[in-house]
Structure 1
Amino acid sequence: MSLFNVFNISGSAMSAQAQRLNTVASNLANADSATSANGTPYKAKQVVFSATPTGSPDASGVKVLKVIEDNSPAKVVYDPKHPLANDKGYVTMPNVNVTEEMVNMISASRAYQNNVETMNAAKTMLLKTLTIGQQ
């Protein structure tokens, strides 16, 4: 595998993790909202990754295959004073688990950071390779 493939692989992984971070941020931002833009409770979203060829037969990158809605049941909270409460006083809230989203955020940011470090290491190796002939 060429050292230049490291940039393609790490770059694709960084792009995928950035989209994962954006999805987590959206989930966290809507965790306490009773309705979404279409009037129904917000549904948490999850990113699905897929391997993608990078041009080299022995290497694969990462791409976001799709963003799916989480089909877990919505939370039902008793709050009779809420304007969206039903006749029994219950409000349907988003199915966002804040703890899981925080774990996803930490995992995605660490994966992003690891790919940045990988690219920096490859860059350093290429620069040192160029200086070999100067002595």
Structure 2
Amino acid sequence: MDFSDTIGVSAAGMNAQSTRLRIAAENLANKDTTATTHGGDPYRRKTVTFKEELNRQTGVSSVKVKEIGQDQTPFEQRYDPAHPAADAKGYVKMPNVNSMVEIMDTHEAQHSYEANLNTMQITRSMLTRTINLMK
């Protein structure tokens, strides 16, 4: 593996983790978004799935976002008969977003992003030193 492969793998990791951060932020922003019409569904939590991708020319694997899916866990129900989306019994479906899960996801994504950034910076430093030795 050469320097450009290392930088490419780190860049792919940073890209994947930035997508993960964006989705977690979107989930947190919509944690109270209910339906506006009777019987409608509220915001459904989004999930990110990764996949390993092999570059056949270099033999180097990196991470990519496979898909942005939807969490199929059931919605919580809250009693609020005055809400426009309340059912006949007065219950409103609430989004299946758990703030603690999203916060932990953002912390984990941040640490992974920082690790990839550090790898990229160290690789760049090694490359600079190698060029300086060749002068």
TM above 0.5, yes or no, is yes
Tell me the amino acid that sits aligned with residue 15 of structure 2.
Answer: S
- For residue 82 of structure 1, what is the aligned residue in structure 2? 83
- For residue 56 of structure 1, what is the aligned residue in structure 2? 58
Q: How far 1:69 moved relative to its partner? A: 0.5
Q: 2:21 matched to 1:21?
A: yes
Q: How far 1:71 moved relative to its partner? A: 0.6
Structure 1: unaligned runs, 5 residues or longer: none
| Deviation string, structure 1 residues 80-112 (Cα, Å, up to 9, x no partner) | 232322221211011111110110011111111
Percent identity of paired positions between Structure 1 and Structure 2:
37
| Deviation string, structure 1 residues 6-34 (Cα, Å, up to 9, x no partner) | 11101111111111111111111110111
Instruction: Give the TM-score of the pair, scaled to structure 1.
Output: 0.91
- For residue 127 of structure 1, what is the aligned residue in structure 2? 128
Say which SS state the counterpart of residue 82 (structure 2) adopts: coil
| Deviation string, structure 1 residues 26-83 (Cα, Å, up to 9, x no partner) | 11111011128xx5211101101001123421x2011111111101001111122323
Instruction: Give the TM-score of the pair, scaled to structure 2.
Output: 0.91
- For residue 3 of structure 2, what is the aligned residue in structure 1? 3
Say which SS state the counterpart of residue 76 (structure 1) adopts: strand
- For residue 98 of structure 2, what is the aligned residue in structure 1? 97
- For residue 31 of structure 2, what is the aligned residue in structure 1? 31
Structure 2: unaligned runs, 5 residues or longer: none
Say which SS state the counterpart of residue 53 (structure 2) adopts: strand
Tell me the amino acid that sits aligned with residue 118 of structure 1.
Answer: T
Tell me the amino acid that sits aligned with residue 75 of structure 1.
Answer: E
| Partner Cα separation in structure 2 for residue 66 and residue 90 of structure 1 | 32
Q: 2:114 matched to 1:113?
A: yes
Q: Provide the alpha-carbon RMSD of the alignment.
A: 1.4
